[in-house]
Amino acid sequence: MVLKRYDCFINSLSQRVVNLAASMSNNIQYKTVSFYFMSGTGNSYRVACWMKEYSEKQGLTTTLLPMDKAFPDCRIEDSKDTLIGFFMPTHGFTAPWSVIKFALKMPSVKQARAICVATQGRLKFGRVFIPGLSATATFIIAMILAIKGYRVRGVHSINMPSNWMALHSGQKLRSVQSIINAARQPSEKFIRHILSGKRHWLTGLNIAEFLLGIFFIPISLAYLLYGKIFLAKVFYTNSRCNGCGLCSDCCPNHAIKMVGKKRSFPYWTYHCESCMRCMAYCPEQAIEVHQSWGVLVLYLSSFSIFYTLAKILAAWIPGFPLLHGVLLTRIFHYIFYLTVIGFSYLILFRVTKFPVINKLFSITTLTTIYRRYREPGTRISDLSNYESKPIKE
Ligand SMILES: Cc1cc2nc3c(=O)[nH]c(=O)nc-3n(C[C@H](O)[C@H](O)[C@H](O)COP(=O)(O)O)c2cc1C
């Protein structure tokens, strides 16, 4: 039994070595190209479109599919002529959780080639451009795909306008346009490189992203474990929300439920990735984030509050297990964190239904004055194949 397992391991290892050696060769002629994208506000979709256009100009049949619509028909022709591409935004210096899950669900192959592209948030102040940082975003997906047998030909990060509207206002159209214009050329250069059979790994940008990515791993882990959950639970709607349900229907993670008997309102579940699609495409600009509320909730769910409460409980109840061992304490804090976040969201959801409180929230949040960002050429129907209802854009 042990020998058999050892044999299997050696066989799969040697297959990987053969794959790696084969991928060193540049003699590749692709026949089918499939691009999968996850895109909150259209940036990653736009970059995928540019690469699709280029690929089609080379006479290659190229399909482009949103990741949330790709399964269960995600069949990969396992041949060396097949190229698949992953396009995604960067969240918390890494890949969004939904993209990691999608990569994990991809079928295993032996021959097919792959590329990974992450868009990152660039800002422009006057003449100064501040680049984004994808860090581990492309590498983590490349690693998952390589384990699944794909021969990853290259990774690339592309600077597009930052869409994090919970944090900052959308940039002016002129700045947005100049960032997008500057992104097209590196996108086309990358796909030209890949389609000509070359690999795209050891570039200055990739090395820098990789090294910084290692440095930022703790932040990315904290983002995936804590940040993502917190960010999902600070959305609410202002009085302009008419319950149309567009946000719920178009959410790539099916994370928004419409709740309410007489009138329904969006309710953000823990599946939310904060991709900003709801905020960007809401026709009434009704979706807001209350930053001060967020800071208060972060404080209430913090380790110091948990520690104080745990000490009080431990003093009352002898042998109370909360502060026994670092791991156990951390696990209990995590449960406490989830409970506080969940409970505070229920309060936020309920109290903002009262017009006076809703008004108070709306005049004290910065998102009221923030400009909404979405990639100017991208319609909601491009991102979500949303055709069931007429769309007011
Ligand atoms: C929750 C969240 C986290 C983000 N984290 C990062 C980040 O760590 N680094 C970065 O460069 N950009 C970050 N951004 C910006 C987006 O990655 C960037 O604007 C991207 O192009 C959006 O692509 P999309 O429109 O396809 O979703 C973040 C945006 C959001 C909403």
Determine whether the shortest distance from the Cβ of 85 to ligand 1 is under 6 A.
no
Residue 290 sits in the same domain as residue 196: no
In a domain, 107, yes or no: yes
Residue 269 sits in the same domain as residue 369: yes
**pLDDT given at position 322:** 61
- Tokens matching residue 110: 């032996």
Determine whether the shortest distance from the Cβ of 162 to ligand 1 is under 6 A.
yes
Q: How does residue 393 score in pLDDT terms, banded at 50, 70 and 90?
A: very low
Kindly report the CA angle at 220 between 338 and 182, in degrees rounded to 5? 130
- Tokens matching residue 225: 């474990």
Q: What is the mean pLDDT of residues 270-293?
A: 96
Residue 349 sits in the same domain as residue 372: yes
Whole-number Å distance, alpha carbon 348 to ligand 1 midpoint, is 25
In a domain, 392, yes or no: no
In the chain, % of residues over pLDDT 90: 79
**pLDDT given at position 342:** 96
**Beta strands at 82-89 and 61-66: parallel, antiparallel or unpaired:** unpaired
Residue 285 sits in the same domain as residue 270: yes
Residue 59: CB partners within 8 Å, gap ≥ 6?
A: none
**pLDDT given at position 28:** 64
Determine whether the shortest distance from the Cβ of 163 to ligand 1 is under 6 A.
yes
Residue 305 sits in the same domain as residue 213: no
Determine whether the shortest distance from the Cβ of 90 to ligand 1 is under 6 A.
yes
> What is the value of pTM for the model shown?
0.90
Residue 44 sits in the same domain as residue 73: yes
Whole-number Å distance, alpha carbon 295 to ligand 1 midpoint, is 21
Whole-number Å distance, alpha carbon 91 to ligand 1 midpoint, is 5
**pLDDT given at position 25:** 47
Residue 187 sits in the same domain as residue 273: no
* Residue located nearest, by CA, to atom 3 of ligand 1: 91
pLDDT exceeds cutoff 80 at 221 = yes
Residue 188 sits in the same domain as residue 227: no
**pLDDT given at position 348:** 97
- What is the CATH classification number for the domain harbouring 156? 3.40.50.360
Lowest mean pLDDT among 44-53, 138-147, 257-266: 257-266
In the chain, % of residues over pLDDT 70: 88
pLDDT exceeds cutoff 90 at 377 = yes
Cα Dmax for the chain: 74
Determine whether the shortest distance from the Cβ of 43 to ligand 1 is under 6 A.
yes
Mean per-residue pLDDT of the chain: 90
Q: Can you tell me which atom of ligand 1 is nearest the CA of 92?
A: 8
Q: Can you tell me which atom of ligand 1 is nearest the CA of 40?
A: 27
- Helix (H) or strand (E) holding 289, with range, is strand 287-289
C-alpha pair distances (Å), 22 with each of 9, 13, 16, 55, 169: 20, 14, 10, 23, 47
- Tokens matching residue 387: 């055709």
More confident residue, 261 or 190: 190
Structural domain ending residue among the three candidates 193, 221, 249:
221
Probe residue for ligand 1, chosen from 163, 251, 375, 379 as the CB with the greatest number of ligand atoms within 8 Å: 163
Alpha helices by DSSP H, the chain: 2-24, 43-57, 67-70, 97-105, 137-147, 173-195, 204-215, 217-222, 228-232, 246-250, 277-281, 291-300, 303-316, 326-351, 355-363, 380-384
pLDDT exceeds cutoff 70 at 199 = yes
Alpha carbon distance 238, 175 (integer Å):
28
Whole-number Å distance, alpha carbon 89 to ligand 1 midpoint, is 5
pLDDT exceeds cutoff 50 at 390 = no
pLDDT exceeds cutoff 50 at 13 = yes
Q: What is the mean pLDDT of residues 196-204?
A: 95
Which residue range is the domain that position 49 belongs to?
A: 2-221
Determine whether the shortest distance from the Cβ of 66 to ligand 1 is under 6 A.
no
Determine whether the shortest distance from the Cβ of 159 to ligand 1 is under 6 A.
no
Residue 66 sits in the same domain as residue 114: yes
Probe residue for ligand 1, chosen from 64, 91, 130, 167 as the CB with the greatest number of ligand atoms within 8 Å: 91
Residue 226 sits in the same domain as residue 321: yes
Residue 62 sits in the same domain as residue 84: yes
Q: What is the mean pLDDT of residues 178-194?
A: 97
In a domain, 389, yes or no: no
In tens, the pLDDT along 290-346 reads 999 999 999 999 999 998 998 888 888 877 666 667 888 889 899 999 999 999 999
- Cβ atoms of 138 and 94 within 8 Å: the answer is no
In tens, the pLDDT along 120-154 reads 999 998 889 999 999 999 999 999 999 999 999 99
Q: Can you tell me which atom of ligand 1 is nearest the CA of 227?
A: 1
**pLDDT given at position 313:** 84
Q: How does residue 10 score in pLDDT terms, banded at 50, 70 and 90?
A: low
**pLDDT given at position 327:** 85
Probe residue for ligand 1, chosen from 37, 90, 372 as the CB with the greatest number of ligand atoms within 8 Å: 90
Residue 273 sits in the same domain as residue 137: no
Q: How many CA atoms lie within 13 A of 142 on its CB side?
A: 21
In a domain, 298, yes or no: yes
In a domain, 341, yes or no: yes
* Tally of domains within the chain: 2
DSSP per position, 58-116: TT-EEEEEEHHHHSSS-----STTEEEEEEEE-BTTB--HHHHHHHHHSPP-SS-EEEE
Structural domain ending residue among the three candidates 221, 251, 274:
221
- Cβ atoms of 29 and 81 within 8 Å: the answer is yes
